[in-house]
Structure 1
Amino acid sequence: MSFSIISRVLGLSAVILCGTGVVQAIAAPVLVQAQPAAGQKVAAGNVAVRLSFDGVIDPFRARLLLLGPDGAPRLLPASPIDDEQHAIATTVALTPGHYVLQWRMATRGGSAGQGTLPFDVGGVDSSPARHP
């Protein structure tokens, strides 16, 4: 093979590899773990909310909206919980009922992802602990 053909093949390979990296860098964030999980029932009171994503998110463009049993939306403040900024968390006082957490996250490159997490809040468990 001549030098110009090898140069063209290597150049084309570099363009393909760079293009692949760009697509991955601007892909929408994907939720990989949630607390509470979708469909989970948690005790009433202070409920920890934590969302973890597959990549770096922009915490300044994160939005958590909680719809409660009364139907009124509540905007929840959330902060990054790790240095890599893959997760955000907050704590919110909740009474029994059905809730839906709507989340919207964006990467630093601007690509956004969104989803919903329905969960239920039950009464506080006041029964004594059982010992075998």
Structure 2
Amino acid sequence: MDLWGLVRKRLLGMPPLDYALVGRWVGHMTHGKFRHDRIATASPVPGERVLGWVVHYLTGVVFAAALVWIGGSEWLSHPTLMPALTFGLATVLVPFLVMQPAMGAGIAASRTPNPTSARLQSLITHAVFGLGLWATGCMTSYFG
């Protein structure tokens, strides 16, 4: 996903995701605030950028572990594209139904200036994540 963010920026001129806002959202949870009208206007949290990146990578690890758990040792021994791609696309439900509404963007980015574009970019990014899961599974089965 991170490599895709760099490619997306270079080819399409789209800035990468700002994980500091994820860190801000998670940081405010420690004070009992789980929902924001606009996370960008919420008060900054010390270390929010690092926290956001940590949450981003931990989420990816948990999702990858979930795919391995669902697919079992058979998928891990002989990874196929469709389960990984389907799973990657399914993970878009977390930002659509949890993160975006809680951060003030609405369900599936409905409160953003261009919801269709935001949704499409999320779907593409999570499809890329699924491809990454498959590629990692292939490397694991080859070298493991």
What TM-score range do you get, normalising by the shorter chain?
A: under 0.3
* TM-score normalised by the chain length of structure 2: 0.21
Q: Which has the higher strand share?
A: 1
* TM-score normalised by the chain length of structure 1: 0.22
